[in-house]
C-alpha cells in the first residue's frame, strides 16, 4: 500500500504527469523531455529526480546525457494504476500534443546538436580580457 501512496504523491504535479506520459513511450534523454515541455533543464531534472527517488524511474548515463525510463515495478497495483492512467489520459489534447512534439524533437536529434548545459555561477565568472580581467579564475585571498 505504501508504494501506491508514493505513486499518487509522485503524480500530484502536472509536470511529473506529463513526464510520465512521455516516458510511457520508452526511454528518453533529459534534453528531449526538456525540449518537449519547454521548461528549463533545472526544473525538468528536479522533477525527474523526484520521480526516480520515488521508485518510478531508473536512469543511465549515455555519453554526457542522462536517459530515463519507467522502472519495472514489482507492485502489480502500481503497474495497473500506470496502465489505467495511460488509457485515460493518452488522447487528452495536452498529452497528444506532447507526443507529436516529441516526434519532431526526435527527428531533430536534439542531444546530438546541443551541447550539455554547464552549471555556471555568474557571480564568480571571470572577466574577459576585453573587460580588463584575466581568463583565469581569481584565487581567494589567504591561499
Q: Residue 100 sits in a domain of what CATH number?
A: 1.10.10.10
Residue 27 is assigned to a structural domain of this protein = yes
Position 22 scores a pLDDT of 97
pLDDT tens by residue, the chain, 143 residues: 788 888 899 999 999 999 999 999 999 999 999 999 999 999 999 999 999 999 899 999 988 889 999 998 767 888 899 999 999 999 999 999 999 999 999 998 877 755 555 544 444 444 444 444 444 444 555 54
Which residue range(s) make up the domain with 105? 2-117
Residue 9 is assigned to a structural domain of this protein = yes
Position 104 scores a pLDDT of 94
Residue 87 is assigned to a structural domain of this protein = yes
Position 99 scores a pLDDT of 96
Split into its structural domains, the chain has a count of: 1
Position 120 scores a pLDDT of 46
* Residue 42, C-alpha cell as written in the block: 533545472
**Which is nearest to 42 in space by CA: 54, 34, 52, 50?**
34
Residue 21 is assigned to a structural domain of this protein = yes
Report the 3 state secondary structure along the chain.
CHHHHHHHHHCCCHHHHHHHHHHCCCCEEHHHHHHHHCCCHHHHHHHHHHHHHCCCEEEEEECCEEEEEECCCCCHHHHHHHHHHHHHHCCCHHHHHHHHHHHHHHHHCHHHHCCCCCCCCHHHCCCCHHHCCCCCCCCCCCC
Residue 133 is assigned to a structural domain of this protein = no
Residue 96 is assigned to a structural domain of this protein = yes
Residue 93 is assigned to a structural domain of this protein = yes
Contact, 52 vs 10, CB < 8 A? no
Position 140 scores a pLDDT of 52
Give the relative orientation of helices 30-37 and 93-108 as an angle to the nearest 10 degrees.
130
Rounding to the nearest 10 degrees, give the CA dihedral for residues 101, 107, 110, 111. Answer: 120
Position 113 scores a pLDDT of 59
Contact, 110 vs 31, CB < 8 A? yes
Residue 37 is assigned to a structural domain of this protein = yes
Spatial distance between the Cα atoms of 44 and 14, rounded to a whole number of angstroms: 12
Amino acid at each position: 500500500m505504501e508504494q501506491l501512496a508514493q505513486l499518487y504523491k509522485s503524480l500530484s504535479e502536472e509536470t511529473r504527469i506529463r513526464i510520465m506520459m512521455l516516458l510511457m513511450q520508452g526511454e528518453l534523454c533529459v534534453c528531449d523531455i526538456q525540449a518537449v515541455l519547454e521548461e528549463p533543464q533545472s526544473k525538468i531534472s528536479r522533477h525527474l529526480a523526484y520521480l526516480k527517488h520515488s521508485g518510478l524511474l531508473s536512469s543511465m548515463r549515455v555519453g554526457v546525457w542522462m536517459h530515463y525510463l519507467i522502472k519495472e515495478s514489482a507492485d502489480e497495483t502500481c503497474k495497473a494504476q500506470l496502465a489505467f492512467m495511460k488509457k485515460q489520459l493518452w488522447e487528452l489534447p495536452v498529452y497528444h500534443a506532447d507526443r507529436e512534439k516529441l516526434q519532431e524533437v526526435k527527428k531533430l536529434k536534439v542531444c546530438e546538436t546541443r551541447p550539455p548545459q554547464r552549471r555556471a555561477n555568474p557571480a564568480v565568472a571571470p572577466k574577459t580580457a576585453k573587460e580588463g580581467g584575466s581568463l583565469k579564475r581569481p584565487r581567494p585571498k589567504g591561499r
